[in-house]
Amino acid sequence: MLKRALPPAHPGIVLKELFMNERNLTITDLAKGIGMTRANVSAVVNGRAGISPEMAVKLSAAFGNSATFWTNLQTNYELWHAERKVKRSTIRHFKLPRNRQTAHA
């Protein structure tokens, strides 16, 4: 578990600040360019929605990077928040029976 005091930026912030602003793109420009609705792109850019795998593929084609870049941003953001929400101390640990432990090693 990665311990960070500050949350990673929402992927929409990264999209807006590092990709759209640098190219003077509006939400409408980007939506038309990647074949998505303006409402969908706006929701991501404004932090109300995440980047789907389909959108990640489209953004990677539009900006010349990988879909994995976009999905990693989303995953890191979600995991950071999940780590703070889940109470690990309430989770039961499941272990293999003694006779099965060496079989999988």
Q: Domain limits of the chain?
A: 11-84
Model confidence pLDDT, tens digit, residues 45-104? 999 999 999 999 999 999 999 999 999 999 999 999 999 999 988 999 999 988 776 555
Q: How far apart are CA 94 and CA 104, in angstroms?
A: 15
pLDDT value at position 105?
54
Lowest mean pLDDT among 14-18, 21-25, 31-35, 82-86: 82-86
pLDDT value at position 99?
78
Q: CATH top-level class for 11-84? A: mainly alpha
Q: Name 62's Cβ contacts closer than 8 Å, sequence gap at least 6.
A: 30, 33, 34
pLDDT value at position 102?
59
Q: Which of 62, 71, 76, 66 is nearest to 29 (CA)?
A: 62
What is the CB neighbour count within 10 angstroms for residue 89? 5
- Full-model pTM: 0.82
pLDDT band for position 5 (cuts 50, 70, 90): confident
